[in-house]
């Protein structure tokens, strides 16, 4: 909007100058020179009047460049968020390649059509974290008003609808954080290890895998056509570009946020960060010290929080802090 106002102001100034130049030209300049000058001025005006090509119809569009060098240096639209059959596997370990083949024998190999953005659209997404700051926030209706609602790990909605909403379109998880999902919810598996993809194959077929580093669901009820796989290359991209190697690996939360930057036009974050008392527990937990995992060093919570804060400061996302 600011750029459009600048263009309109520039046009008005140029129009005034053009009228002034033409008035002088009619008196002082030979008629053989006027058409050339006039054509040049008209050409400049036409260039100015060309429509501003916004990448979406939202008030703010994530993919707009030139607003923040920090963002432009990190955001890479060429990295695919989801794993598909088109993956080039020649340079990967044989076990990985074999797993991919088996995986796409039981789940679709195409990208979820819902995740394919259309030019000029305004896809609004809510990324709902699991922070205790959602308790008594009354964000439920606001969250459900988005086109896509992303949730993660073991987050429940039943009993918390007024504060976290009831709508879920996509749920991010890994085998150890699996929970049963609603019938129309797409599951997005985050494969931190090859065994995670092997688990999906097992969980919708034979049920032979029951243990990773902990007990996992032997069978899952998610329909195979509702299963999507987060691209391992995208995990690496988040870790390298956005986290710059901080922590052992990215959290599910930051992986969902960066995923949303790539598939949505407008992103709003709920349930991220500590509550007003500085506690990091989950909203369904009553023990404020339950968020002690943040201190284990697995994820760099402070650095990830800094990333979302910068994204907010440059108007790429909005964070609703709750209570």
230 is catalytic: no
DSSP H stretches of helix in 29-87 = 34-49, 69-72
Give the pLDDT band (50/70/90) at residue 33.
very low
Annotated active-site residue 249? The verdict is yes
| 241-295 confidence digits (pLDDT tens) | 999 999 999 999 999 999 999 999 999 999 998 888 888 889 998 776 655 545 5
pLDDT of residue 45: 46
User: Is the CB of residue 160 less than 8 Å from the CB of residue 128?
Assistant: no
The residue from 170, 249, 262, 321 that is catalytic is: 249
CA angle 319, 146, 4 (to 5 degrees): 70
Indicate if the pLDDT at residue 43 is higher than 50.
no
Beta-carbon neighbour count of residue 53 at 10 Å? Answer: 7
* Residue 72: both structure tokens together: 């432009």
Q: What is the pLDDT of residues 179-199, one digit of tens each?
A: 999 999 999 999 999 999 999
SS3 call for 148 = strand
- Bridge partners, 215 (sequence order): 211
Report the C-alpha gap between 263 and 220 in whole angstroms.
Answer: 26
| Lowest-confidence pick of 17-21, 207-211, 293-297, 311-315 | 17-21
Which strands sit side by side in the sheet containing 124-128, from one edge to the other?
A: 227-229, 186-189, 170-173, 148-152, 124-128, 266-270, 317-320
Whole-structure pTM value: 0.81
CA-CA distance, 176 to 194, in Å (whole number)? 14
């Amino acid at each position: 909007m600011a750029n459009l106002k600048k263009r309109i102001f520039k046009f008005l100034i140029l129009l005034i100058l053009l009228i002034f130049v033409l008035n002088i030209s009619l008196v002082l300049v030979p008629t053989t020179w006027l058409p050339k000058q006039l054509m040049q001025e008209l050409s400049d005006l036409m260039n100015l009047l060309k429509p501003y090509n916004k990448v979406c119809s939202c008030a703010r569009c994530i993919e707009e460049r030139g607003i923040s060098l920090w963002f432009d240096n990190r955001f890479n639209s060429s990295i695919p968020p989801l794993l598909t059959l088109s993956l080039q596997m020649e340079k990967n370990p044989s076990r990985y390649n074999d797993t991919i083949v088996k995986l796409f024998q039981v789940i679709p190999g195409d990208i979820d059509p819902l995740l394919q953005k259309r030019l000029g659209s305004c896809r609004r997404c809510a990324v709902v974290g699991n922070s205790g700051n959602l308790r008594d926030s009354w964000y439920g209706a606001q969250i459900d008003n988005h086109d896509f609602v992303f949730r993660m790990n073991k987050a429940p909605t039943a009993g918390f609808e007024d504060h976290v909403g009831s709508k879920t379109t996509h749920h991010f998880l890994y085998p150890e954080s699996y929970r049963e999902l609603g019938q129309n919810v797409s599951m997005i598996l985050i494969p931190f290890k090859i065994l995670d993809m092997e688990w999906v194959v097992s969980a919708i077929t034979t049920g032979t895998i029951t243990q990773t580093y902990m007990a996992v669901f032997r069978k899952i009820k998610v329909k195979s056509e509702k299963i999507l796989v987060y691209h391992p290359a995208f995990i690496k991209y988040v870790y390298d570009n956005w986290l710059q190697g901080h922590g052992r690996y990215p959290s599910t939360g930051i992986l969902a946020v960066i995923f949303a930057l790539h598939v949505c036009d407008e992103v709003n974050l709920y349930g991220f960060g500590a509550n007003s008392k500085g506690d990091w527990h989950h909203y369904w937990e009553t023990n404020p010290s339950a968020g002690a995992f943040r201190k284990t060093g697995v994820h760099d919570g402070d650095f990830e929080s800094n990333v979302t804060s910068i994204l907010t400061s440059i108007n790429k996302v909005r964070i609703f802090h709750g209570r």
